Amino acid sequence: MIRFFTEDIQFNLLQKVPTRQWLTALAKHEGFTVGELNYIFCSDEYLLQVNREYLDHDYYTDIITFDNSEEEYRLEGDIFVSIDRIRDNAQQVKATEEQELRRVLAHGVLHLCGYGDKTEQEARLMRQKEDESLAAWTNRSLNVTDPSSGE
């Protein structure tokens, strides 16, 4: 089950059911099933505090992923997403906010699937996987039924 929450901001994710289907299909494509996955949309300041408190990092970021998985190949976690960073990053890379948001949503799932982004080689592979995910969203080529949607 994939759920979406907000913390300290007003934000409404559009197309929740298709987004759940897409993220579930992405996990399946990588050989995983989705257990309980929570996306928490928040501000820069909120995510900075999470970064300081739990990771001892003192900088802004667009996403922090906490892996709560207890079973192999079953994704469970909490993914915090700064909507402020999404908006700024979209302007910098000349993408729409929706494109950048979807890239970051996929990024969180890919982290839980074991992909890193610390080295240049890891970052290249992560970007390639993100691009494939965005293409799948655009083409709806990874469509599966979302079990939590009642469809």
Write out pLDDT tens, residues 16-49.
Answer: 999 999 999 999 999 999 999 999 999 999 999 9
Q: Is residue 42 part of a domain?
A: yes
Q: Is residue 145 part of a domain?
A: no
Q: Is residue 150 part of a domain?
A: no
Q: Is residue 53 part of a domain?
A: yes
User: For the chain, first and last CA: distance in Å?
Assistant: 13
* CA atoms of 133 and 40, how far apart (whole Å): 20
Q: What is the CATH number of the domain that holds 20?
A: 3.40.390.30
Kindly tell me the sign of the dihedral angle through the C-alpha atoms of 12, 15, 17, 20: negative
Q: Is residue 84 part of a domain?
A: yes
Structural domain count of the chain: 1
Extract the annotated binding site. 107, 111, 117
Q: Is residue 98 part of a domain?
A: yes
pLDDT of residue 66: 97
Q: Is residue 41 part of a domain?
A: yes
Mean of pLDDT values over 66-78: 96
On the question of pLDDT at 142 being above 60, the answer is no
Of the pLDDT bands very low, low, confident and very high (cuts 50, 70, 90), residue 103 is very high
* CA atoms of 74 and 60, how far apart (whole Å): 29
Q: Is residue 110 part of a domain?
A: yes
Extract the annotated binding site for Zn(2+). 107, 111, 117
The contacts of residue 145 (CB under 8 Å, 6+ apart) are 21, 151
* Domain hosting residue 29, numbered range: 2-139
